[in-house]
Amino acid sequence: MAKKRAAEPEEAKLKKKIAAKLTDQKNSQGDTKLRSLKKRLKREQRKRRALAQRKKQAAGNKAEAATSSS
């Protein structure tokens, strides 16, 4: 069986959670839960950017190879 895709991307969920925490928070310095949410968000963003970079690199190599062989 194939994995089910989330209805909402993980990055969007994390952004909502962070925004909710920020609105009903008094002390932004000592909240470890908020810090961990921010770290998870950064990790997701890094994954997304790395994937885009890999796809771009792969597409560039394929296009280059096709034009040089013609």
For 6-65, how does the pLDDT look when each residue is reduced to its tens digit (9 = 90+)? Answer: 677 899 999 999 999 888 777 656 688 899 999 999 999 999 999 999 999 999 877 666
5 with 32: CB under 8 angstroms? no
pLDDT at 60: 85
Contact in structure between 25 and 31 (CB atoms under 8 Å): yes
Enter the pTM of the model.
0.68
Instruction: Tell me what pLDDT residue 69 has.
Output: 60
